[in-house]
Amino acid sequence: MTNYDQSIDPGLEGHLRAGGTGIHSAWNFNGALRWDVREGMFTEEVFMHHVSRGTRSAATIEDLMRVVNDEFGWD
């Protein structure tokens, strides 16, 4: 998923649920995407300048993108 055009790759949700990982590319941060089986949530660990700034979670990929971008920026 990317902030360049606020797009989410088709099939990303299924890929994450199957145990894969993904990346959220943005101007000021990058995020590592995963599916947390125990919590039943999508998670994103946000990195700025190679330093973890914490993990955010949401029930849907779209909600996760919104949560992270609202805090860290839409650029």
Question: What would the mean pLDDT of 8-18 be, rounded to a whole number?
Answer: 96
pLDDT band at 33 (very low <50, low <70, confident <90, very high): very high
Provide the pLDDT confidence category of residue 61 given band limits of 50, 70 and 90. Answer: very high
The confidence score (pLDDT) of residue 48 equals: 96
pLDDT of the residue at 5 = 93
Q: What is the pLDDT of residue 66?
A: 97
Q: Where are the beta strands (DSSP E) in the chain?
A: 22-25, 30-36, 41-48, 51-58
Q: Are 51 and 72 in contact (CB under 8 A)?
A: no
Q: For all residues of the chain together, what is the average pLDDT?
A: 96
